Structures are given as structure tokens and as C-alpha cells.
Amino acid sequence: MADPITVTTVADGVARIQWQGEPTTDALRQAVAGALTAHTRVEALVGIDDRSAQRAATWAGLLKEGVTRGVTVDGAVTDRVVYARVRDDQPVDQPEGFRSLLNSFLPRKRAISQMLVRDPDGRVLLCQLTYKRDWDLPGGVVEVGESPRLAVQREVEEELGLDLEPGVLVLTDWLPAWSGWDDAVCLVFDGGTHPPSVLARVVMQEREIRDVRFCTLEEVDELAADFTARRVRAAVSGARPYTESGR
């Protein structure tokens, strides 16, 4: 009976492992280990909907790297999940190696940090962005390894030239997947109350910010997307610490 696991050299130092059916975890692990004695990297391309093969790749110690799109397999253009292991990866029977394995496939959530800045009349600071029609609170995406609190301070300084200390977290708003975006969690921090004269200190990042001003809640409803307006109102009211799309 032919071995259902095959290992093929596809580039200098790179092996590709394939299997038929459901080989045992031990057999796959041995094949991966054997391939790494002669290669620096071993990889597997697994079907998007083939959960069984994805589990097999994971428990064989291959880390999920992402999705390669538009590859031709058996004459058909399709997408494949890429799993791989390199020779220097920590063994999966060691704590660090096992954590890296889990980290490669467990869900990750995009985080956005925004700042609620108000004037003495209760108006809210909004930014008109260059890349969309709707106005929004100042802030942006949290970088990998960055704290949300530091992220919003950095974004406000980069976009508006204002050094504002973030205060308490006033709202956590979950945003469902929408128009090509994955879902995300938006954290709104209190930016304090400042006189309208603070606008004179604004230095807009021209690539991202077209205008900035204090707006009444009625103006927020007119200028912002509906879910942003709901988020602003929820943050201002402080009645709920958690919302979903502002609700």
C-alpha cells in the first residue's frame, strides 16, 4: 500500500507535504521532522473548507500563516490555507512552541481606539477624513503589540498635532463585519473638556484629515455615519459601558 504522505521539494530549502485521507498525527509529525532534516521549511497548502486537513496540519506542528489566493490546483483556480514549519521553530512539546502554534490559528480581533473630546458647551470634536465621506471621532487602529490607550494618544498627536492625555475608558463598541471590513472592537477614551481655542493648535495630517471642528450631537447625526453617531451618543451619555454598533 502506497504511503499516503508525500514530501516534494518545491524550491531551494522548501518542501511541500501532502497527504491523502486522514493519516495519524504521529505519521505526519514524523514526515514533517524528516523533511526538516533536508530543508529549512516545510509547508502544506490546505483547502479553505477542509477542516479535517486543517486540524491534521495543526496537530502535526505546522503553524497557520494565512491564505494564498488564486492558486491553480488540478486545473482549477482556488484559495488555499498555508501551514508551515521552519527548522528554527520551537518544538511544540515545549510551552513556547505550543503557544506559538495556538497563536497561529486562534482568532484575532482588530481594535480601534478613539477619543471623545468635548468643549464646555458639550460639543464633540469630529474629524472630516480624506478617505471617506463621513466624519468621525479622532483616533485609529491599534498596532500589533500596542496598548489601546497609547494608540489613541499617538493617533491624535499624529493626525491633529495635539498632545492629549487619554482619560478613562467610556465605551467599548463592537462593530460587525461591514462592506469588506472584518469585525472590530472600538474603544472610546475620554479626552477631557477643552475650550474651542484648542482648534488653533491643531496641525492636520493632510494625508488623512481634511477638517476638524466641535459639533453638536445634532450635527454629529448629520455628518457621521449612523453607527458612528450612535457610538458618539452612547459615549456622551455614559449610560452603557458596552454597545454593539452603538446600540
Whichever domain contains 201, its CATH number is: 3.90.79.10
Tell me the backbone φ, ψ of residue 245, rounded to 5 degrees.
55, 40
- The pLDDT of residue 190 is 98
Domain termination residue (choose one: 105, 130, 155)? 105
Domain termination residue (choose one: 67, 90, 105)? 105
- The pLDDT of residue 73 is 82
Q: pTM for the full model?
A: 0.84
Structure confidence by residue, pLDDT tens digits, 196-223 = 999 999 999 999 999 999 999 999 999 9
| Local confidence band at 1 (pLDDT 50, 70, 90 cut-offs) | very low
Give the type of residue at 202. Answer: V
Domain termination residue (choose one: 105, 132, 149)? 105
| Local confidence band at 3 (pLDDT 50, 70, 90 cut-offs) | low
- Structural domain including 220 reads 110-244
128 and 221 co-located in one domain: yes
28 and 59 co-located in one domain: yes
Structure confidence by residue, pLDDT tens digits, 48-107 = 999 999 999 999 999 999 999 998 888 899 999 999 999 999 999 999 999 999 999 999
- Could you give the number of structural domains in the chain? 2
144 and 223 co-located in one domain: yes
98 and 186 co-located in one domain: no
Please enumerate in sequence order all residues whose Cβ is within 8 A of that of 105, keeping only pairs 6 or more positions apart, or say none: 58, 63, 64
Q: 51: part of which helix (H) or strand (E)?
A: helix 51-59
